[in-house]
């Protein structure tokens, strides 16, 4: 039972994950860590594993909150950009109307007015097309962020399920160890 708990500790220890066991220095460090863990009691190892699991769960929640904030910021950016685009389109339309009224008021001939109107309409259409492309790019960026969030949420949920299962095993192991100790004490007395 003690060996099982120590093996499980190494499965979750973050300082072990960083070691490259093909490197002699890392292997030596691993052996020192294993010896240090071997000297600890099973209860202290279980407590440390429980703290590590809780820290992992807290880190996961912090990451989820950060992603939520990023999505909210991206959505706000998209809303602001759409509002700016609408304002730009309205401003261009007003410019076209003002130019047409000015040309009409000055009494220029119909041909010049028509050419000016076409030039302004082309400019307006180009601006509208550019704004629509920017909006489409923003939508694609938000979809990509949404997919990233969904992927991270799925991975987080899977990891959480694994951590909960391991914590359940740790609780059972602690109970078994206590029961074994009680049985030993009862047997010895």
pLDDT tens digits for 126-169?
A: 888 888 898 898 888 888 888 888 888 888 888 888 888 888 88
Grade residue 17 by pLDDT with cuts at 50, 70 and 90.
low
Crossing angle, helix 2-12 and helix 24-39, to 10 degrees? 140
* pLDDT at res. 19: 66
Region for 35 from its dihedrals, namely left if φ exceeds 0, alpha if ψ lies in -120 to 50, beta otherwise = alpha
* pLDDT at res. 16: 66
Grade residue 109 by pLDDT with cuts at 50, 70 and 90.
low
Grade residue 68 by pLDDT with cuts at 50, 70 and 90.
very high
Distance between CA 135 and CA 80 in Å, rounded?
A: 11
* pLDDT at res. 4: 79
Nearest one of 66, 64, 78 to 143, comparing CA atoms: 78
Grade residue 11 by pLDDT with cuts at 50, 70 and 90.
confident
């Amino acid at each position: 039972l003690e060996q099982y708990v120590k093996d499980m500790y190494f499965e979750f220890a973050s300082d072990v994950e960083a070691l490259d066991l093909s490197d002699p220095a890392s292997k030596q460090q691993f052996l020192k860590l294993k010896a240090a863990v071997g000297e600890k009691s099973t209860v202290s190892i279980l407590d440390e594993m429980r703290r590590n699991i809780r820290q992992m769960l807290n880190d996961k929640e912090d990451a989820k909150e950060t992603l939520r904030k990023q999505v909210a910021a991206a959505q706000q950016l998209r809303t602001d950009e759409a509002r700016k685009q609408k304002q730009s389109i309205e401003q261009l339309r007003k410019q076209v109307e003002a130019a047409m009224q000015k040309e009409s008021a000055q009494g220029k001939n119909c041909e010049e007015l028509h050419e000016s109107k076409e030039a302004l309409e082309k400019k307006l259409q180009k601006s509208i097309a550019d704004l629509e492309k920017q909006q489409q790019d923003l939508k694609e960026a938000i979809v990509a962020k949404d997919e990233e969030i969904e992927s991270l949420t799925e991975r987080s949920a899977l990891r959480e399920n694994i951590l909960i299962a391991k914590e359940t095993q740790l609780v059972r192991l602690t109970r078994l160890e206590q029961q074994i100790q009680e049985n030993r004490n009862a047997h010895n007395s």
